[in-house]
Structure 1
Amino acid sequence: MDVLHPEQDGGPEGTPGRRRFLAVAAAGAAALTLESLTFAQGAEASAQGAPPQSGEETRTISGHLDTGVADFVYLPVEVPPGVRKISVSYSYDKPSVPSGTPGNSCDIGVFDERGTALGGRGFRGWSGGFRTAFEIGNSEATPGYLPGPVGEGTWHVVLGPYQVAPQGLNYQVQVTLTYGPDGPAAPRHYPARRAKGRGRAWYRGDCHLHTVHSDGRRQPSEVAAGARAAGLDFIVSTDHNTSSAHAVWGEYAGADLLIVTGEEVTTRNGHWLALGLPAGDWIDWRYRTRDDAFPRFARQVRRGGGLVVPAHMYCAYVACQWKFGFDDADATEVWTGPWTYDDEHAVSTWDQKIGEAVRSGGRWIPAMGNSDAHSEPQVIGLPHNVVRADDLSTDAIMDGIRAGHSYLAESSAVQLTFTATGNGRQAGIGEKLTVPADAPVDVRLDVKGVPNGTVRFLTDEGQMHQESLDAGGEGSVVWRTTASLAAYVRAEVRHLMANGSPGQGNTMGDALLFGSMAALTNPIFLAAARH
């Protein structure tokens, strides 16, 4: 199989030469590794027993990847002692392709001398396809990359050609080593794991946000300001495949805003959120479903007290649709950004999973809603989660989400109270009400902030009640059932449809049955008492 045809410059003499590649059976996705790229000046000085004191040295490699190349292509770089900074740039061609045929797209990142083992310690940064160049030194690094010493040994620049045109992909990588003493270590400002809070209360937070540390265009300061403007109490940092932003968030957190560290893990078979990671922790993404690696990294997240959350499960982009199942999920994102048919489908799948859990007596999976905001005009907090937690702390918020004590809202103007009351007892969102099988149970939803909204109550049988709110957007809706008729009840609040209709109820039609979502609750479970 000859899928990689690299050429490099020939060193000081400039004589180009063909280079072989090595196929590697990685613990995760399939990979290819080139032979090492060496630097004459550094090697010369090292042979003389003293590292270079100053100056820089550049090498360039170019090559061709055919369609069907492995997920990751590694370029080993032999870094001699005495290197102060490593700089990498790359480019690749984008030939015209027929309509409907994927064109070339190639990501980039780097691992240091500690190696490329799946989940290992060598990770030093990733920028996907968002940047064409990056630098790493002890004092600073390009966003997405981790500052620190440029240690002696074999580094690996990694290319991720996730789409290759029929003509193949021609690439060029340039690596520059700058010699000299390390500068001072970069400061680390990790955010505190607790903010002031209001004790046991409902807290609002967006758990899927991006900055310039991955493919977002907002600075962390802008995201924090946007969260405050949206009336949020907490946010989670989820830049793609890197933990580099963790060390800057401490500057922008405060008594009024808890900032939780996390990551969006973008595998070749779907994206997932690792929420509540210990600051600085990184989760590997280099695997597919067939590699059977996802459960390992899900366990890693949980050991640190975090949550595993599949993201935008029906996203139509390449590698975005969720393929790993839900056995290792702690919650699932069913509403991502402005409401679309993808979200409608995700809510339907989630509701089906609730029914399966009820039938089997197994674990149910709470729903989440997040903005996935990257840049203007995407709105931070549209939607977000309103979580009942004992405190405004990372651990308490994660506990509230894990338990399903939460509802989803499009903005801080939307307020819900959802309860089920029967036989002298009451349960709230994510809780269970146990009553005699035929005892009346009153399900009540109090709503604010959804003018002319449509309230829907849904059970394991589907929609059982629908009622409209007035133009003021405030009201209470009550519906009676029993534990023999409903195993769970959840509520939705929808906007009017484009034609001004509240929705089509249970009838079938060509269009969406209802308008866009304004709010969505996790269920209240009803159980018949055993005598």
Structure 2
Amino acid sequence: MSCSDSDNSTQGDTQFEGEVRIQISGEVPAGEETYFFLPFEVPEGVDEIEFNHDDLSGENILDWGLDDPVGFRGWGGGKSEAAIVGVDAASPSYVPGPIPAGTWEVVVGKAKVAEQPARYEVEVILRATATLAPQTERRPYESPPGLESTARWYVGDFHSHTVESDGSPTIAELISLAESRGLDFVLMSEHNTVSQLSWFPSYQMTTSVLLLPGMEFTTYAGHANTIGTTEWIDHRTGVRGATIEGAIADAHAQGGLFSINHPLLNVGDLCIGCGWQYDVAPETIDAVEVMGGIFSGVAFWEDLLDRGGRAAALGGSDDHRGGNGEGPLYSPLAMPATRVWAEELSVAGILDGIRSGRTVVQVYGPDGPMIEAGMEGTRRGSTVFADTSVLRASVTAAAGMVLRLWKNGEVMATFDVTGDPFVHEVALEAPASGADRYRYDILDGKSLAALTSYIWLRRAGD
């Protein structure tokens, strides 16, 4: 790595003035570590930092971010444009705030290194005067009060993107789309950044759609949503002590949930690292995206549950185009949608609903087939305690389709849906030890149309 300063400023002895340009170039380090760091020094008095970057290759893919002496300031991932971080404003994906003096680092991710020698060029510009206008609408995130106090099935999308990561819609445009789809909540799951959260307080005052905090924890060995988290979680596993176990623990320490996204997805360079490769304790996973757009993760979810997990089923569109995408792999917002039974429309209410396994994935969206399932007995979380019980399902918008009852990962029975609504009941007996798990889904021909989370049945005395 080589560095050089080009000083176009008029600096005094104690006060930074004007502008300084720092050139950094070199070869991508060999080895298995997937991230490396390019340090540069920032003096007192800097009001804004810009950095430009180039991977100098049509074959290699590098990701880019920025840390200050304290920690995270943003993650642009594979964005090619320059990034600016200032006291009162920042580019999308980056966080405004004080510019402390000391050692800053450009963070580089080795997404794909196929061409050798792999090189990079970075230009850092330090400015005493900001070029971005102050973003006065941004303020520290605070969880909003409940938007509705009724206990009911709330519908939303747990996976979407805006310009704050690699999506094309603005936050305002995505909110408008969520409103038009009739959603109660939406998670803007930006890749490895929480820059969107400082915009939420202003936008939340003008919409009835609950803006859930969180981010998409995005690595080269798997993606996951940290639902309900408000601080950045270190995604650079294998580097500087960061681990997948630490990331999951961090999400839980923040009061959030860790939900694995599109675990079986494999589309090559279109989504590097999308398939889940980590080996983690099943009981630490709170949910699984069983439908990510058109991609099923049901088999992964069932295997996780077979190994002792209690993860809820979630769905998400992974919409990056704000409803304006094209092609066979594209899914617009709320396709699928997820219903969550919650006591109120609030961040805590939605999280509690997921923790209790009270979720239904509607693959065709909010107006598609729906299953309301319940089991008699004392329910704690996703487990019902009763020696004997009755499982009931009320199905709507599915006439002519097939309802399937699942037990412990296997289809137990199938039923033609002959009416709207269609009701099914079955008497159950809890096992002598342990628990059995039950769920429903709906098939439209060979296509999955809806799916519930599991309910576990255990004897009352256990």
1:398 pairs, out of 346, 351, 354, with: 351
Partner of 1:164: 113
Deviation at 1:351, TM superposition (A): 2.3
Letter in 2 for 1:519: A
Does the residue aligned with 2:386 lie in a helix, a strand or coil?
strand
Does the residue aligned with 2:263 lie in a helix, a strand or coil?
coil
Partner of 2:273: 319
Partner of 2:245: 295
Distance 1:426 1:491, change over 3 A: farther
Partner of 1:219: 170
Distance 1:148 1:200, change over 3 A: same
Distance 1:208 1:246, change over 3 A: same
- CA distance in 2: counterparts of 1:198 and 1:238, whole angstroms: 25
Encode CA deviations 1:370-413: one digit per residue, 9 max, x unaligned: 22211132311122221111111111211110111221112111
Q: Is the 8 A contact 1:269 1:289 kept in 2?
A: no
Does the residue aligned with 2:284 lie in a helix, a strand or coil?
coil
Does the residue aligned with 1:487 lie in a helix, a strand or coil?
strand
1:58 pairs, out of 16, 21, 30, with: 21
Partner of 2:372: 417
Identity %: 29
Matched, 1:483 2:448: no
Deviation at 1:66, TM superposition (A): 5.9
- CA distance in 2: counterparts of 1:139 and 1:529, whole angstroms: 58
Partner of 1:107: 63
Matched, 1:45 2:1: no
Matched, 1:270 2:213: no
Deviation at 1:319, TM superposition (A): 2.3
Structural mapping, 1:376-395, within 5 Å: 376-377=324-325, 378-395=331-348
Return the index of the structure with the highest Cα Rg.
Answer: 1
Encode CA deviations 1:188-243: one digit per residue, 9 max, x unaligned: 24364233314222211212221111111111111111212222111123101111
Deviation at 1:273, TM superposition (A): 1.2
Encode CA deviations 1:285-314: one digit per residue, 9 max, x unaligned: 111499672333322222222111122111
- CA distance in 1: counterparts of 2:173 and 2:381, whole angstroms: 33
Matched, 1:516 2:415: no
- CA distance in 1: counterparts of 2:247 and 2:361, whole angstroms: 27
- CA distance in 2: counterparts of 1:172 and 1:324, whole angstroms: 35
Letter in 1 for 2:285: A
Q: Is the 8 A contact 2:8 2:21 kept in 1?
A: no
Letter in 1 for 2:225: L
Q: Is the 8 A contact 1:446 1:475 kept in 2?
A: yes
Partner of 1:374: 320
Letter in 1 for 2:89: E
Distance 1:128 1:264, change over 3 A: same
Q: Is the 8 A contact 2:33 2:239 kept in 1?
A: no
- CA distance in 2: counterparts of 1:526 and 1:63, whole angstroms: 60
Letter in 2 for 1:366: A
Deviation at 1:64, TM superposition (A): 2.4
Q: How many residues align?
A: 442
RMSD: 2.9
Q: Is the 8 A contact 2:74 2:195 kept in 1?
A: yes
Does the residue aligned with 2:177 lie in a helix, a strand or coil?
helix
Q: Is the 8 A contact 2:357 2:455 kept in 1?
A: no
1:258 pairs, out of 203, 207, 210, with: 210
Matched, 1:464 2:412: yes
Deviation at 1:159, TM superposition (A): 1.5
Distance 1:465 1:83, change over 3 A: same
Partner of 1:443: 391
Partner of 2:53: 90
Letter in 2 for 1:319: G
Distance 1:135 1:467, change over 3 A: same
Q: Is the 8 A contact 2:54 2:80 kept in 1?
A: no
Letter in 2 for 1:469: V
Distance 1:58 1:351, change over 3 A: same
Unaligned runs of 5+ in 1: 1-5, 13-39, 96-102, 115-120, 358-362, 497-514
Letter in 2 for 1:384: A
Q: What is the TM-score with the length of structure 2 in the denominator?
A: 0.86
Encode CA deviations 1:158-184: one digit per residue, 9 max, x unaligned: 211221114232221111122248986
1:239 pairs, out of 186, 190, 209, with: 190
Partner of 1:196: 147
Distance 1:487 1:8, change over 3 A: closer
- CA distance in 2: counterparts of 1:353 and 1:70, whole angstroms: 28
Distance 1:475 1:184, change over 3 A: closer
- CA distance in 2: counterparts of 1:416 and 1:224, whole angstroms: 27
Q: Is the 8 A contact 2:66 2:104 kept in 1?
A: yes
2:310 pairs, out of 354, 358, 364, with: 364
Deviation at 1:519, TM superposition (A): 1.0
- Once structures 1 and 2 are overlaid, which stretch shifts more, 76-85 or 212-221? 76-85
- CA distance in 1: counterparts of 2:222 and 2:64, whole angstroms: 19
Does the residue aligned with 2:52 lie in a helix, a strand or coil?
strand
Letter in 2 for 1:463: V
- CA distance in 2: counterparts of 1:204 and 1:428, whole angstroms: 23
Deviation at 1:431, TM superposition (A): 4.0
- CA distance in 1: counterparts of 2:312 and 2:130, whole angstroms: 51
